[in-house]
Amino acid sequence: MTDLSSRDLMGDRKVVVDAFARRHRFKWYEAIPWLVAIACYFLFENYHALGAQIFATILFALSLDLLIGFAGIVTLGHAAFFGVGAYAAGVMAANGWQEPFSEILVAAIVASGVGFVSGLIVLRTAGLTLLMQTLVVAALLQELANKWSSVTGGSDGLLGMKIDPIFGAFRFDLFGDTAYVYCLGVLFIGWLLARNIVYSSFGRSLTGIRENANRMHAIGAPVDRRKIIIYTISAALAGVSGALIAQTTALVGLNTLALSKSGELIIMLVIGGIGRLYGGFIGVPLYMIAQDRFSQIDPIYWYFWIGLFMILVVVFARGGVLGVFERFNQRRRSR
């Protein structure tokens, strides 16, 4: 009898392990974004610079999705880490250190440091107070960058950055050919990391914290520590994204730390769909390409329409493009 039940238990265990392994396995559609990105390199030769920006911003959106979508930490100050990364890389490049990969590494370290320290303070609260504190951290850093103009260039922005060729061979050119491949490569590494986190047991426990923090406490999960860890990782990824933007545009301004930056990022993520890992891959290109087109015609109305669109998404199309797609799929399957 005992033999039977223990064998059953083993069987159950195998089922669970298999289910985990299956979820973690790469599916065919996960290759789509990368194939599209490679195809776009050849199809739209005049838009490589925009493409590089889009890839860097997707990484930024991915880092925010880890926080909002998986850990349930709603923040208004994610631009803080983006800006810190951008300034870290920018200050190095403007002061003689020109090797791109080491700049990215330093940006990640500095941003994760800021994320860790601010996370210790900020994550003690929730709701409106948490929103306010994340916003204040970003505002604090923005004021610092504004006033410390001998290093950051203040409100004029940081100018005079020089970047070495990648691997000593590929120079950053005006058309953004190198930047396109470079940003795509870094995004790919960041995506692999984020994907591994999400499908790991650590990632599952984050989802548990999002759904019910009290219950996670009750089963003995170290809730606070896990929140701080994901906050730090997310800050590092955002910092890398900031460094990419700084290197490929050779310009860092105060707006990298602004609330509007965080707000726009949230909007992009929402359009794609939050908590699905691929929201950024859909929302960011949609937003940035539309902005590129519309702001040439009519920059004033852009914010109005995007705001209205956002309201409509929340009220009528929850989950963004991916959410609508999922519901459509479910309905088709249930028929």
Partner 1 sequence: MSEFLSITISILFHGVAMAMVLYLISVGLSVTMGLMGFVNLAHGAFAMAGGYTLVILMKQHNLPFGVALVVAIAICVVLSLILERLLYRRLYGGDELDQVLMTMGLIFASVGAATYLFGPVSQSLEPPAMLRGQINFLGRDFPTYRSFLILCGALVVTALWLGLERTRFGAQIRASVDNLRMAQTLGINTSRLFTTAFALGSGLAALGGGLGADFLNVGPNYALEYLVYFLIVVAVGGLGSIRGPFVAALIVGVSDTAFKYLAPQYGAFFIYAITMAILLWRPRGLFGQSA
Interaction site with partner 1 (CB under 8 A):
68, 72, 74, 76, 121, 124-125, 127-129, 131-133, 135-137, 139-140, 143-144, 146-147, 259-260, 263, 266-267, 270, 274, 300-311, 313-315, 318
* Closest to 172 in 3D by CA, of 103, 234, 75: 103
CB closer to partner 1, 98 vs 291? 291
CB-based burial, 38-61: b 16+ in 10 Å, e otherwise: eebeeeeeebbbbbbbbbbbbbbb
CB closer to partner 1, 107 vs 206? 206
CB closer to partner 1, 125 vs 212? 125
Minimum CB–partner distance for residue 155 and partner 1 (Å)? 11
φ/ψ of residue 200, rounded to 5: -80, 170
> What is the Rg, in whole angstroms, of the alpha carbon atoms belonging to the chain?
21
CA distance 56 to 239: 10
Minimum CB–partner distance for residue 46 and partner 1 (Å)? 29
Minimum CB–partner distance for residue 288 and partner 1 (Å)? 16
CB closer to partner 1, 50 vs 136? 136
Number of H helices, E strands in the chain: 15, 0
Beta strands (DSSP E) in 83-239 are none
- Asked if 90 contacts 104 with a C-beta cutoff of 8 angstroms, the reply is no
Minimum CB–partner distance for residue 315 and partner 1 (Å)? 6
Instruction: Please say whether the dihedral angle defined by the alpha carbons of residues 254, 256, 257 and 259, taken in this order, is positive or negative.
Output: positive
CB closer to partner 1, 11 vs 307? 307
Point out which residues pair with 224 in neighbouring strands.
Answer: none
CB closer to partner 1, 155 vs 329? 155
Minimum CB–partner distance for residue 284 and partner 1 (Å)? 16
Minimum CB–partner distance for residue 42 and partner 1 (Å)? 35
